[in-house]
Each structure stands twice: as structure tokens, then as C-alpha cells.
Amino acid sequence: MGNLVSISDSSTLIGTDQPPTLRAPEIEAGVGCDFDSYLLVPDNALDDRIAAAKARLGQNVVILGHHYQRDEVIKFADFRGDSLKLSFQAAQAEGRYIVFCGVHFMAESADILRHAGCSMADMADIGQVEACWSELSSLLDSHKIIPVTYMNSTAAIKAFTGEHGGSVCTSSNAAAVMNWAFESGEKVLFLPDEHLGRNTGFRMGIPLEQMIVWDPYQEYGGNTPEAIRNARVILWKGYCSVHQRFTPQQVERVRREHPGIRVIAHPECRFEVAQAADQIGSTEGIIKAIEASPAGTEWAVGTEIHLVNRLGKELRNHKVISLDPSVCVCTTMFRITPQHLLWALENLGEGNVVNRISVDERTRHHARLALDRMLSLR
Ligand code: SF4
């Protein structure tokens, strides 16, 4: 079993937003465990040093890169993917170390399966979710409520889900998991992304009025007991700060300015955007849809800008633009720099595991149940 190293954790890393006070002459560029000194490595030396550190580690290291990573980082990834694909890669990887270039919940999931702060994941606090469960249980038979949590959630939320008979889902398989949940119970508590839950439920034929939103800051989530009893899906009031930015007005504008363009949106986008788009696609689904379209097809894409730009560069037979004319970047993913990658790799070469991600045994046990339920539905 390998060690999971994340260069994803915004709370423990020095991000790119650090003040340039670290340029003290006595700090040697990039030596040892201290990340600060890696900020002094000149840009033109980064590629060679990363390549050399990776070569030294050889088969001992596998680098996983999420599609939303910047080009300077993802070019070193052995495998690119969305959170689901990378979790499978992590589970199968034979290297002694996995360096996960993604956000924290992804590295946690990989660690759970294998035995890297995301605004959305942080919106479902375990204490709030437990309080919600206890309020729901005061009104309903809790055995008939099946929690379903998006992969983009903390290990604690995945563990809660597993402990209460529920499953993890991703944007690719959310409908299959919700179908399974309705075979096992009568209602779904969908965590932590309101939009993915609503978009998926609606496409499954569940009317909007049977999907209520649970606001953790209000009694009964801001709902009446009657509305809760009548609901089929209870949507946690959380969202992705990147995908929430897309608007139906942007869809209208892009259609006006680019007649014939196809619009594809990630299901984390709000309902009105998903309805206005020609297609909905998970991260991998977006890539496949554009790749499979006839040469010359123009696309406006509602997802993170690094992936959109990369598709525009790599798929030269297609024109790919962002739905949002201002930059729509995942700031937590963007905190990973080539310096972070170099820091992790060179330290591994020295036998130092920096920024190790691990999940405690109890959390791992229950979260694994929820992840395994999802994997059994593949
Ligand atoms: S794109 Fe959204 S959900 Fe994905 S990591 Fe960034 S903030 Fe989290």
C-alpha cells in the first residue's frame, strides 16, 4: 500500500498568494522539507528539476492530476482525470507514493479507497449534517431516508453517509446512485451540492416541488414539517463557487454572438443554466462530448477555465470557449504550483513524505462503505 501525498491542501501549504517576504538571501532555493525555499526556485529551472526528481523516484511514484490543474503542473501527471477516474487510478496504482494534484477531498477519497480545501466540500459541516439528520428523524422514519453524498465532500461526510446506509456519487453516476437509493428507501438526502442533486433529480423525472432545499442555518432547514414529509429529495444548500458563476444570460449571449454554437454545462451549474444548455456533462463527459463531435463544431463550455483552455488548445479541430467571459477559475486547484510539485517530489526522493494525507480508521471504515456502494453500481 502506498503513501498518499497531496499537494492540494490549502490550509497546510504556502500558496501563491503569499507575500514575497520569503526572498531572504540565506534561504537556499528548494532544499529539504521547508516549502518556503521552493518559492525561490527560478521558473526556468522548475521543469528540469521536477523531471529529474520524478525520474529518480521511477516507479515508486505515480502523479495524478485533476483536469482543473494548470498546464505547468498537469504536464507531469502520469494520469489525468476527474475525481472518479483519479480515485480508480489511485486504487490501482502500484507506486509506493501517489502524488495527488487536486483538492483535499480527492486525496482523502483516494486514501480511503486505497487501503488533496474545496468551497463546496466545506459547505457541509459534519455537525450541521448530524443536526439535520436528527431533525429529519424527529419527523420521519430515518431508515427510509438514504443519504447520497457527492464525491466532493469531506471524509467525515462520506463516513456519515456510509454509516447511515447511503452511497457516494459523482457527477457521472449521480442518477444511477439516486435510482439505487430510491430502491432502498423513500427519500434521498443529497449532500453537499444543491445543483447536482436538483439537476439529476429533475432529469430522473422528479418534479421540482418534490425537491426541497435544506438550509443548515434554519430550523428544519427552513422548511415546514409538511414540506419535509412530502419531499422526495432533500437538497443540502451547498454549491461550487466556480460552477455557480455561470448564468442563463451567458448562455443567451454566447448563442447570440456565436450562432450555431453548442453549449455544454457541468451539472454543478444552477438549474436554469443546465436547462438552457444543449447538453449536460460531467468533467469527463464534457471532454468525451467535444472529442466525439464533428470537426469544426463550436462549443461554449460551463466548467473550470483550465480545462476549457486546454481543450481549446488540444482539440484543434474544434473551437472551444468558456461560457463565462471573465475567468472562471477554481482558486483552490490554482494554489498548486510547479513549486509544490517539485517540493513533494524532491522530498520523496530524500525519504521525506510532506503533506501526507490520511484518514482515521473509523472514518475510513464508514466512508469506505459509502464508496464501495457507489463502486458496486458501476
Ligand atoms: S471546481 Fe468547485 S467543487 Fe471542484 S474543487 Fe473547485 S471549488 Fe471544489
Find all residues with CB under 8 Å of 213, minimum gap 6, and list them. Answer: 194, 221, 222, 223, 235, 236, 237
Pocket probe mutation, ligand 1, options 330, 334, 335, 336, max atoms within 8 Å of Cβ: 330
Calpha distance 248→246 (Å, rounded) = 7
Query: Would you call 264 helix, strand, or coil by DSSP?
Result: strand
Find all residues with CB under 8 Å of 205, minimum gap 6, and list them. Answer: none
Find all residues with CB under 8 Å of 207, minimum gap 6, and list them. Answer: none
Q: Which helix (H) or strand (E) holds 345?
A: helix 338-349
- Polymer length of the chain: 378
pLDDT of residue 205: 97
Neighbours of 58 (CB within 10 A): 9
pLDDT of residue 25: 30
Confidence tier at 16 by pLDDT (50, 70, 90): very low
Render pLDDT for 138-191 as a digit per residue (tens, 0 to 9).
999 999 999 999 998 988 999 999 999 999 999 889 999 999 999 999 999 999
82 CB less than 6 Å from ligand 1? no
304 CB less than 6 Å from ligand 1? yes
pLDDT of residue 334: 84
Partner residues linked to 64 by β-bridges: 79, 100
Cis, peptide link before residue 259, omega less than 30° from 0: no
Q: Residue with the nearest Cα to atom 2 of ligand 1?
A: 240
* Buried/exposed 26-40: b ≥16 CB within 10 Å, e otherwise: eeeebeeeebbbbbb
pLDDT of residue 13: 26
123 CB less than 6 Å from ligand 1? no
Q: Which helix (H) or strand (E) holds 243?
A: none
Calpha distance 82→78 (Å, rounded) = 14
pTM for the model: 0.80
Q: Residue with the nearest Cα to atom 6 of ligand 1?
A: 330
**All cell numbers assigned to 303:** 466548467
Pocket probe mutation, ligand 1, options 106, 120, 196, 305, max atoms within 8 Å of Cβ: 120
Residue 62 identity:
V
Give the position of cell 520523496: 348
Range among 4-13, 259-268, 316-325, 335-344 with highest mean pLDDT value: 259-268
Alpha carbon of 119 to ligand 1 centroid (Å):
6
300 CB less than 6 Å from ligand 1? no
355 CB less than 6 Å from ligand 1? no
> In 3D, which of 296, 239, 290 has the Cα closest to residue 264?
290
Alpha carbon of 110 to ligand 1 centroid (Å):
16
Query: Would you call 187 helix, strand, or coil by DSSP?
Result: strand
Query: Would you call 280 helix, strand, or coil by DSSP?
Result: strand
DSSP 165: T
Confidence tier at 10 by pLDDT (50, 70, 90): very low
Neighbours of 220 (CB within 10 A): 17
Render pLDDT for 87-99 as a digit per residue (tens, 0 to 9).
777 777 777 788 8
Q: Residue with the nearest Cα to atom 5 of ligand 1?
A: 118
Confidence tier at 113 by pLDDT (50, 70, 90): low
Q: How do strand 262-265 and strand 279-280 relate by DSSP bridges?
A: parallel
Greatest Cα pair distance, the chain, in angstroms, is: 67
